Amino acid sequence: MRRYFYRNLKTIVCIISIVIVFGISENLCQAEEIREDYEDEKEAEISSQITDIEILEYDDELYVGATGDLRVKIVPESADKSNVRYESSNENIVTVNSDGEIKAISKGSATITIAADNVIKQVDINVKVKTKAINVLNNYVVLKPGERYRIEASVSPEDAEQLLSYKTMDASVADVDVEGNVIANNSGATTIIVSNGQMSNSINVIVNEDTADNYRYRDPVNIGSVEVGEIFDCPDVVYASTVECLDAEFLYKLNKSGKSVKIVGEGYSIIIDGKKIKNFKNIFYTNINMVKTDDGLEFEINKGQKLCGEIKLELDDLNGGKLYLFNDEKDKYELLDTDDIACLTITREGKYIITDKKLGAKTVNLKYILIGSAGLGAVVLSIYIFSAKRYWFW
């Protein structure tokens, strides 16, 4: 009996031991699984966090009204990009959206902050006003060797950057310093370029021994009155905005020298070859008023006055392939033969039009034709009613 009890006791102990060992093992496995799940969650949480932001590309200077992109790279790349936030320090100057697109609102400086998780980066944006024009007091200056001239120039609009630079095309004729002081060296002609990086203007400088003392072209109306002596140093370019006309004296010297001059205006340029001047007493007006109409591009040469000779006209914007000249006596447009519509040879003054339409008699607006027809019809109808009304009630 005792032997049977001890034998059953061993069996019970073994069973209990097995149960205990199995339970411990199972608990250990569950604990390991919990630990692995925790580590996976922790690793996933860490991988979604942004540890750094790299600024890739952006424009640190913009003009008012312009837009730019602020491109960034997050580290690690697997992190959540939606956590990146953009903010402007002054939205009256610069605004920025959630995609990093920057817009310049007004002149000034602002800071863009890029933030994500615990990372913060900043960039500075400077907004400028774009230059529309550089204005110079005189586009044409005549000096004697050794004389000096101070360039008076300004940038418009006034709130645009006023940093001007000066450059001469031929320092042997005339040089210029950083403050715009021109120093005449030797007889000849050169051009001074005035710029601020965005836009430029030019000044023609003539240096001549025979120039009258202290002469300046302070209010240029024509350039024929320039005292050039026996040697005629013709400017390469004349600007219609500052030179109203070429007078008889200038045209005479241009003809005798055999040189050419180019006149630059708004939307056009004119070349006058001195060898083709036939009558230098016919002064030439440099300004041409271009008008776009339904028929084409209309303009008048030399204010309707006779030309000094043949001229070449180049237009920046062409609205057709046919050239017409209006004949005042016949009151209609006449088609002219043209080899090159982009570079016209003009020998007659008057009103011209470039078009693709076929023009004959002077064009009349359809509106006025309809009005006239309606008026005539009303008159005819009134006469008919007056004549026939006595029969209506017969």
The most distant pair of C-alpha atoms in the chain lies apart, rounded to whole Å, by 158
pLDDT at 366 over 80: no
pLDDT at 333 over 90: no
pLDDT at 217 over 50: no
Query: Vertex 325, ends 321 and 326: CA angle to 5°?
Result: 130
Question: In angstroms, rounded to a whole number, what is the distance separating the alpha carbons of residues 250 and 253?
Answer: 5
pLDDT at 223 over 50: no
Residue 193, both tokens: 């370029």
The pLDDT of residue 253 is: 82
pLDDT at 119 over 90: no
Tell me how long the chain is: 394
The pLDDT of residue 320 is: 79
Query: Vertex 333, ends 328 and 336: CA angle to 5°?
Result: 115
pLDDT at 234 over 50: yes
Residue 387 has phi, psi (to 5 degrees) of -80, -35
The pLDDT of residue 250 is: 83
Q: Which of 175, 204, 174, 169 is nearest to 186 (CA)?
A: 174
pLDDT at 12 over 90: no
Q: How far is residue 53 from each of residues 49, 77, 115, 220, 310, measured CA to CA in Å?
A: 11, 10, 8, 60, 68
Band (pLDDT 50/70/90 cuts) for residue 185 is very high
pLDDT at 172 over 60: yes
Question: In angstroms, rounded to a whole number, what is the distance separating the alpha carbons of residues 276 and 308?
Answer: 9
Residue with the larger pLDDT of the pair 222 and 133: 133
Over residues 81-90, mean pLDDT = 88
The pLDDT of residue 375 is: 59
Q: Which residue has the tokens 């024929």?
A: 224
pLDDT at 267 over 70: yes
The terminus-to-terminus CA distance of the chain in angstroms comes to 158
Specify which of 84-98, 193-207, 330-344, 369-383 reaches the highest per-range mean pLDDT: 84-98
For 5-38, what is the HEC assignment?
A: HHHHHHHHHHHHHHHHHHHHHHHHHHHHHHHHHH
Band (pLDDT 50/70/90 cuts) for residue 175 is very high
Q: How far is residue 34 from each of residues 24, 25, 37, 42, 353, measured CA to CA in Å?
A: 15, 14, 5, 12, 90
Residue 380 three-state SS: helix
Dihedral in degrees, nearest 10, Cα atoms 323, 334, 288, 270: 50
pTM, entire model: 0.40
Q: Are 160 and 132 in contact (CB under 8 A)?
A: yes
Q: Are 145 and 187 in contact (CB under 8 A)?
A: yes
Specify which of 59-63, 173-177, 226-230, 280-284 reaches the highest per-range mean pLDDT: 173-177
* Residue 128: burial class (beta carbons within 10 Å; 0-12, 13-18, 19+): middle
The pLDDT of residue 173 is: 92
Q: Are 133 and 156 in contact (CB under 8 A)?
A: yes
At 275-318, the pLDDT tens digits run 899 887 888 999 998 888 888 889 999 988 899 999 999 988 77
pLDDT at 377 over 90: no
Specify which of 10-19, 164-173, 195-204 reaches the highest per-range mean pLDDT: 164-173
Average pLDDT, the chain: 78
Q: How far is residue 96 from each of residues 1, 80, 85, measured CA to CA in Å?
A: 94, 20, 10
